[in-house]
Structures are given as C-alpha cells and as structure tokens.
Amino acid sequence: MKLLVTGATGFLGTALVPRLLAAGHHVRTFSRGPSPSHPELQGAEHLRGDLCDPPSVRRALEGTDVLYHLAGLVSFDPKDGRKMYALHVDATRELLKAAVEAKVKRVVLASSSGTIAVSREERVCTEADDYPIPVVGRWPYYLSKIYEEKLALELCRASGIPLVVCNPSLLMGPGDERLSSTWTVLKFIQRDIPGMPNGGISFADARDVADALVHALTQGDVYGRHLMGVNMTMREFFQRLSRLTGVGVPPLRLPKAGNILGARLLEKVARLRGAEPALDAHSVEIGEHWFWLDSSKAERELGYRARDPQQTLNDTVQFLMSKLPPGKLPGTKGRLADLRSTPTH
C-alpha cells in the first residue's frame, strides 16, 4: 500500500516507519524540515511541507491509501496550549478533510491513553470509560488530544473512512531524541524529583506500540479506541529506575497536597530568580493521578504485546545515558533538558 506518515521523525514515527517499509509498503513521510537524516527513515519518500499549509497537505495525500497521523506536540507547559490546539485540533481537522478529498481508504490515529485513562483515584480504566475532561481540563496536552480524537471520530464516521484510534500510554524505550516522553526518566537521573509521587503510571515500549500500529493497517475495532501500556505505582517505577541507575529514589514522602504545594512554591521561587524550575508544578500534579489501564482490547484486536517492562526501562536508561554530555554521570545536570516541547510534524 501507499502510506503517508505524519510525525515520522518523532519517537513513535522512527519506530513505525522501518516496520512499514520491511512489510513492503511504499512509505511517504511529511515534515517541515529537509529530508530527515534518521537512518530508520531511509527508504521512505520524504515530502517537505506543513500541516498548517493546505496545498502541501493535499500534495502529500495524493495517491495515498492509508494515513498514519502521528504528528503532535507533547508539553505540560500551559504557555504551549495554543500551539497544541493548533496542531492537534485545527491542523488535524484540515488534514482529515483533505484525506476525504483524496479518497484515503483508512486512517490510523496515534492518540494518547490520557484521553481515557486518567483518574484521581486508584482504578484501572477501559475503552468504555468516558473522556475524563473534569480531571484533565487544566492540562492542555490531554485536553487537546481529547478534542483531536473526538473530531477525528466524528469526521471519519460522517465521511465513511474507516478509522482506528490507538491510545498508548507514556512511551518508553530507546530512540526518544526529543525527550517527548522519556524526560521523566531523565529528571529522575538528574535528581530533579524531590518528592515521591503518590499516583500510578502506565507506560508502553514504543517498539511494541509500533508493532500494534502495523497491525492497525488491516486490523482493529473501526471507530474504536485501543489502550496500550503496563501499570505500576510511581513508587515501583522509581524503585526500578533506582536499581538500574544507582540514583536514589526521591527522598521526600509527602501526601498529595504536600507534593503539589511544595512544587508550586519551588516554581515560584525559581521564577522570582529568573530561572526555570527543575520540575514544574503541572508535572508534579499529573504524577499524583492514576493512569492505569486495561490493554486487553489492544492485545485482542491489534496483537499488542508488552515486553518485559524491566527491559523497556533498561533500554530507556541506556539510551539517555548515551546522550548525556561527556563526564555527566547520573545525578548531574545535562543539556538534554533543553530538548523538551519539540513538535513532531
């Protein structure tokens, strides 16, 4: 088939494209920059353009059988809210309208588990759960992804284009060059997390998610959502990282309200000094929630299989350590923190 992949230069894209090429498909990537230098993308056709530029989008969709829409921006900074809505909602709307005009036969949308599986209490969510807007309403990333998912389902149903929505949790594994997902692990390595979060995390290996997305080409619940991830308490997550890195777990043990209040105070102090806080209050607040999910539908419909989570975390740590500047050992500050909030168009 002829496939168009948006966001191909991102973490998930660089895992997915080689798998699609290996399956014998013609893969076209689409991004704002020149032909990407990623070795994983060699063999794909590259078109330069912008999702906010309708003519270049229409050119990219010419002759396309299936659209993989992976482009996105991951940020928990409220100042990036407008950019995320422009990309996740406005650009997605125009992209799908162009896909209808191009008579695309199928759309696979890479969404987020955060459009479903976010709770203030300890619980495991399924695809039957409603959008958690009351919980995530102050977090523009998850809110914009909810609106993206809703408009994609509505538009594709109305036009008759089969749509499969994939909802991986926090992506881990090697290859996250922009720290779009694995920055939590880097923050741990740099000892930027003073207090142990009280919530529950879910994460998915990008390689396992990419395998499931390949299956979504011909499989999956059409107009359905598919959760993917492995659940852990935040305590277990950081204990595992501690064993892998030798860095101690966050030393403070405070209740939820104490962690959030402390993060806000530290953020305010940093701003008064004209500096960026090591850990913003929004990220701390998110860590006090539960992101647990049930992956059984994705396993059944898309063949999703989660590898040993310890292997995923070890590969994540090894990749990040290889990117630290010379002489920067665990527990020290590295320049990688400057790469956050980079869009994958």
Burial-class residue 1 by CB neighbours within 10 Å (0-12, 13-18, 19+).
Answer: middle
Pairing assessment for the beta strands 230-233 and 200-205 based on DSSP bridges = antiparallel
Q: Do 2 and 47 touch, CB atoms closer than 8 A? A: no
Picking from 94-108, 164-178, 281-295, 302-316, which range would have the lowest pLDDT averaged per residue? 281-295
For residues 227, 228, 233 and 238, what is the CA-based torsion angle, rounded to 10 degrees?
A: -140
In this prediction the pTM is 0.91
Strand partners, 225: 165
Q: What is the pLDDT of residue 341?
A: 41
The confidence score (pLDDT) of residue 257 equals 72
Q: What is the mean pLDDT of the chain?
A: 90
Q: 173-227: per-residue pLDDT in tens?
A: 999 999 989 999 999 999 988 888 899 999 999 999 999 999 999 999 999 999 9
Tell whether the model's pLDDT for residue 340 goes beyond 60: no
SS3 6: strand
- Of residues 40, 42, 45, 47, the one with CA closest to residue 14: 40
Interacting residues of 307 by C-beta distance below 8 A, sequence separation 6+: 205, 207, 208
User: What are the pLDDT digits (tens) for 140-155?
Assistant: 999 999 999 999 999 9
In the chain the domains, ranked by start, together with CATH numbers, are 2-173+203-231+292-308 (3.40.50.720)
Examine the pLDDT at 328 and tell me if it is beyond 50.
yes
- What is the reported pLDDT for 245? 95
Q: What's the pLDDT at 263?
A: 64
Report pLDDT for 342.
44
Please state the φ and ψ torsions of residue 226, each to the nearest 5 degrees.
Answer: -140, 105
For residue 91, which of 108, 66, 73, 64 has the smallest C-alpha distance?
Answer: 73
The per-residue pLDDT for 55 is 94
- Tokens representing 17? 């494209």
**CA dihedral for 245, 248, 254, 260, sign (positive or negative):** negative
208 in Cβ contact with 307 (< 8 Å): yes
pLDDT digits (tens, 9 = 90+) for 85-114: 999 999 999 999 999 999 999 999 999 999
